[in-house]
Amino acid sequence: MDDAQPLYAERSTSGGAKLRYSFPDQAVPLSAMDNKFANLERYPRIKMYSHRSGMVIYEMFDAGARTPRQRQWRALDLSRQEFYSGNGKLTRVSF
């Protein structure tokens, strides 16, 4: 699946670092895992991974989208939200 944004290249590569997806709006059939998960983009999803800075990043995707509509950076003492337009352009940031 091609959800990879430039920021994803800076993910943590330390032992145990994992990429996780959750699907908050509906159940996803097992057939979506065919062809290296290429069909997952059909569903609204949240991608979670650790950044090398130690923060955890959550990217929210709409069904059919390859660019996130929202990205959240989370740590114990900081939270940052980035909002994106349909074409992937940053529109707003809040702390």
For the stretch 20-51, pLDDT in tens is 889 988 888 888 777 777 788 889 999 999 88
C-alpha closest to that of 71 among 49, 54, 39: 49
pLDDT the model gives residue 59: 94
- Residue 13: which pLDDT band, with cuts at 50, 70 and 90? low
pLDDT the model gives residue 16: 60
pLDDT the model gives residue 52: 82
Q: Where do runs of H (alpha helix) occur along 1-95?
A: 34-37
Decide if pLDDT at 12 tops 60.
no
Span 58-65, mean pLDDT? 93
